[in-house]
Each structure stands twice: as C-alpha cells, then as structure tokens.
Amino acid sequence: MIVLRLAILITLAISAYAEMKNCSVKKSKVDYEVHTRQCCTKVVGYQTCVVAETGLAAWKQSKPVDSISITVQVAGEPIMKMEFSADTMTEEKTKKCVNNMYMNNVCLFVKRVKPKDWRKGGIGLCYTLSMKVHEYSGDKCIYLKGKEFIDLPIKQHMTDLD
C-alpha cells in the first residue's frame, strides 16, 4: 500500500512538473510595450499560471531598465503580483504567500540569478510556485534582455547574485 501511494505521488509530481513547461510568449509589435510570457499547469483541476510581463517601471540615469512583473493566476483570476527590476539596488530574494479559495495557501519564491556567460544588462529570475496542501511545486528560470524572454536551465549556467 505504501509503495502504491509513493508511486502515485511520484507520478503526480512528474506530470505536474512536465506541465509547468507549457509556456508561451506573446510579443508586442511595438517597442516599449508589454511582452508577456506565461507558464501554466493544472493543479487539482484548476488552471494555474505564472505570467511574466515586461515593463519600463524602473529608470536609471534617465534610461529605462529591464523590469518584469510576475503575476500568479488561478482559474484566470490574479491572486498575487511581484515587481522586479534589473537595477542592482533591488532585493535579491522574495517570498510571498496568499490564501486562495481554490488552492488554500499559494506561495511564490523568486530569486534573482544571472547566467554564467551574462553580459551587462538584463535580469534573470528563478521562481518556485508551491501549493503545499496539494503537494505541488514547480520551478522555472527566465532571463529578460532587451524585451526578449529566454528560458534557462534551472541548475545549469546559473550563478547567484548574492
């Protein structure tokens, strides 16, 4: 019985992780408008998405700095939002949790990273979306450079900024 439960949990974890790779990018046709990258998975029947949008919320020395807002959506409804900038003065790690009527406690942990071959500019983020009640956790790393989203391997080509 224990082996069967373990096999079911492993199968669910593998299928949930595989679904998290279901990502799409919508590019704006005009520069300095929002580009969107969305990764979704189904958790207990509800579509759960992490949406990253580019923006020009941050400015440094009268020039725009790459910035990303990350929104977690459950069943099409936004439940939390975080802002990140390539400005080195911003926080390196952030964790935010909210209670949701569909998923109970939903947490998003975001850590700023940089590829080992990183050149000046851009912003790299790795995030973990977790819902402990449903035993779900999904990881993803993205890099934004000049309004282009680039998916990155989670443990390869990465170094922490701190």
- Asked if pLDDT for residue 4 goes beyond 70, the answer is no
Tokens representing 102 are 């569909």
pLDDT, one tens digit per residue, over 89-125 is 556 788 899 988 877 888 998 888 776 656 656 677 8
Return the residue matching tokens 């979704």: 40
- Asked if pLDDT for residue 153 goes beyond 60, the answer is no
pTM, to two decimals? 0.67
How would you classify the pairing of strands 148-152 and 104-115?
unpaired
- Asked if pLDDT for residue 131 goes beyond 50, the answer is yes
What is the pLDDT averaged over residues 75-89?
A: 79
What is the pLDDT averaged over residues 47-67?
A: 68
Instruction: Write down the pLDDT at residue 14.
Output: 39
Contact (CB, 8 A) for 113 and 160 = yes
Instruction: Write down the pLDDT at residue 33.
Output: 61
Q: How many residues does the chain have?
A: 162
Contact (CB, 8 A) for 89 and 138 = no
Give the start-to-end residue ranges of the domains of the chain: 2-160
Tokens representing 146 are 């000049």
Distance from C-alpha of 44 to C-alpha of 81, rounded to nearest angstrom = 22
